[in-house]
């Protein structure tokens, strides 16, 4: 009889997977603003933060008005043993996630970044600080991790300046926005951002969440966090519709867009609908010259998480068949609670070619990188 008391389970099963994977949605946090962010933030903005706080277009200074299901929206096992917020300790991230899950390429998507703040000057300064922080505290230390250029997207001119400032640095792999913007994302106030991203050869990444100010449903604000969470898929559908119908992809045929953290199973039905509507009202949509589904097949990618979970996993595979196995980029959302565990997300009978595309190759192709 053997009895062994363990401190903490390790993720041995995933490490056995032979495939080195790309994880296109990892959320880093600073340990302490004063130590990690302030060095990159002008004194006056440090003072502003202390006196006025961040103030996005939502009620609370700290935390959302839809309280999360668990603290920090994090996996409960993701708190670093040495203290700090989930996602704030690189050593622990390696130990808990990157190593056991065999992540060879990981994209950092900072969320508390200054995006969507009411004060545009502060948003601009804060985004710059977050960008510098990602390089200094993360990508320099860990070559598997890559950074996102976060931009104060409600101010297109400042956003363009920031894209141009950062684009020369190899470690940035995408321009990063949140999907709940003040107006639908295809509208022309945002176009300079897309021009700059295309000019820099960087994909435009659009992550769920954000504080645009509009109610998150067409009937106003719903009551519950579960509605907020399921609503991200609707926001992403609206974003994609706007980008297509406003002709952004026609203006910039080289632009690639990556939709992050809204799942993906909604895409086929949306494309069928958009194709029909586009056919019917082409004369209204004069900027959109190609069939929406064709634009999606050429210029749009989606990260997988949180993967929809039909009772019959076969149906999800059929849904991916509709989308195409070259469109999806695997993502875990580490360290958040709706994390997807790589060795559990596809049925075992999906063949190795499709797995490679899904877990690795699509991401490397979109980001134009090799495994480090």
Interaction with another protein in 66-85: which residues (CB under 8 A)? 69-70, 75-77
- In the complex, the smallest distance separating the C-beta of residue 279 from another protein, rounded to whole angstroms, is 9
- 259-288 residues in contact with another protein (CB under 8 A) are 263, 265-266, 268-270, 272-274, 276-278, 280-281, 283-285
Q: Is 368 in the site for another protein (CB under 8 A)?
A: no
Cis peptide leading into 288, omega within 30 of 0?
Answer: no
218 is an interface residue for another protein by CB under 8 A: yes
- When the beta carbons of 162 and 246 are compared against another protein, the nearer one is 246
Asked if 305 and 332 count as a contact pair (C-beta separation under 8 A), the reply is: yes
Residue 156 engages another protein in binding (rule: CB under 8 A): no
Nearest-10 Cα torsion for 294, 295, 298, 299: -160
Q: Is 256 helix (H, G, I), strand (E, B) or coil?
A: coil
Per-residue binding letters, 318-357, with another protein (x by CB under 8 A): xx--x--------------xxxxx-xxx------------
Which CB, 53 or 69, lies closer to another protein?
69
Residue 310 in contact with another protein, rule: CB under 8 A: yes
- Helices 313-323 and 267-280 pack at an angle, to 10 degrees, of 40
Between 192 and 213, name the residue whose CB sits nearer to another protein.
Answer: 213
Stretch that binds another protein, among 37-45, 131-139, 175-183, 364-372 (CB under 8 A): 175-183
Minimum gap (Å) between residue 347 Cβ and another protein: 13
Identity of the residue, 93 or 135, whose beta carbon is nearer to another protein in the bound complex: 93
Binding region for another protein (CB under 8 A) out of 116-124, 164-172, 238-246, 252-260: 238-246
Q: In which residue are the tokens 């029909």 written?
A: 276
Contact status: 23 vs another protein (CB under 8 A): no
Compute φ and ψ for 186, nearest 5 degrees.
-80, -10
Asked whether the beta carbons of 153 and 177 are under 8 A apart, the reply is: yes
Mapped onto helix, strand or coil, the DSSP state of residue 235 is: helix
Please state the closest distance from residue 342 (CB atom) to another protein, in A.
10
CB atoms within 10 A of CB 76: 11
Contact between 15 and another protein per CB under 8 A? no
CA proximity to 356, closest of 332, 329, 331: 329
**How far apart are alpha carbons 40 and 114 in whole angstroms?**
13
Please identify, using beta-carbon distances, which residue of 177 and 363 lies nearer to another protein.
177
**Alpha helix (H) residue ranges in 170-312:** 191-200, 225-245, 248-251, 267-280, 292-299
* 170: contact with another protein by CB under 8 A: no
Determine if 238 is a binding residue for another protein (CB under 8 A). Answer: yes
If the CB atoms of residues 118 and 266 are measured against another protein, the closer one turns out to be 266
Measure the CA–CA gap between 89 and 158, rounded to whole angstroms.
Answer: 30
**Least Å from the CB of residue 7 to another protein:** 8
Order of strands across the sheet with 257-260?
Answer: 21-26, 103-108, 145-150, 172-178, 204-207, 257-260, 300-303, 328-329
Alpha carbon of residue 179 to chain centroid: 9
5 binds another protein (CB under 8 A): yes
The distance in angstroms from the start CA to the end CA of the chain is 45
Q: Which two tokens stand for residue 191?
A: 């176009």
Between the alpha carbon of residue 165 and those of residues 44, 121, 127, 201, the distances in Å are 21, 17, 12, 14
With respect to another protein, which residue has the nearer C-beta, 265 or 363? 265
Which is closer to another protein, CB of 192 or CB of 231?
231
**Number of residues lying near another protein (CB under 8 A):** 86
Residues 104-143 touching another protein, rule: CB under 8 A, are none
Nearest approach, Cβ of residue 70 and another protein (Å)? 6
């Amino acid at each position: 009889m053997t009895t062994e008391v363990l401190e903490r389970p390790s993720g041995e099963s995933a490490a056995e997977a032979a495939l080195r994977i790309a994880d296109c949605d990892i959320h880093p946090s600073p340990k302490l603003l004063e130590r990690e962010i302030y060095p990159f933030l002008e004194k006056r903005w440090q003072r502003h933060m202390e006196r006025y706080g961040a103030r996005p277009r939502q009620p609370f200074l700290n935390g959302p008005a839809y309280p999360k299901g668990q603290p920090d929206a994090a996996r409960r096992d993701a708190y670093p043993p040495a203290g700090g917020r989930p996602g704030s300790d690189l050593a622990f991230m390696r130990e808990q996630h990157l190593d056991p899950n065999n992540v060879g390429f990981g994209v950092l998507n900072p969320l508390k970044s200054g995006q969507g703040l009411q004060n545009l000057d502060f948003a601009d300064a804060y985004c710059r600080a977050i960008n510098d922080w990602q390089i200094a505290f993360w990508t320099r230390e860990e070559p598997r991790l890559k950074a996102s250029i976060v931009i104060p997207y409600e101010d297109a001119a400042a956003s363009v300046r920031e894209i141009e400032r950062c684009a020369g640095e190899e470690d940035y792999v995408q321009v990063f926005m949140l999907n709940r913007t003040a107006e639908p994302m295809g509208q022309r106030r945002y176009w300079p951002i897309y021009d700059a991203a295309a000019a820099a050869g960087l994909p435009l990444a659009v992550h769920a969440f954000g504080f645009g100010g509009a109610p998150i449903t067409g009937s106003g604000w719903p009551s519950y966090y579960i509605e907020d969470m399921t609503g991200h898929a609707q926001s992403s559908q609206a974003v994609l519709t706007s980008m297509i119908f406003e002709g952004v992809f026609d203006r910039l045929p080289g632009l690639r867009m990556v939709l992050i953290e809204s799942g993906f199973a909604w895409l086929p039905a949306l494309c069928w609908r958009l194709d029909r509507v586009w056919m019917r009202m082409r004369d209204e949509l004069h900027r959109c010259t190609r069939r929406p589904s064709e634009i999606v097949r050429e210029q749009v990618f989606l990260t997988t998480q949180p993967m929809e979970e039909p009772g019959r996993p076969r149906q999800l595979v059929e849904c991916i068949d509709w989308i195409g196995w070259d469109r999806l980029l695997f993502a875990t959302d580490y360290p958040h609670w709706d994390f997807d565990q790589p060795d559990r997300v596809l049925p075992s009978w999906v063949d190795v070619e499709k797995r490679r595309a899904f877990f690795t190759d699509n991401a490397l192709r979109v980001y134009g990188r090799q495994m480090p």
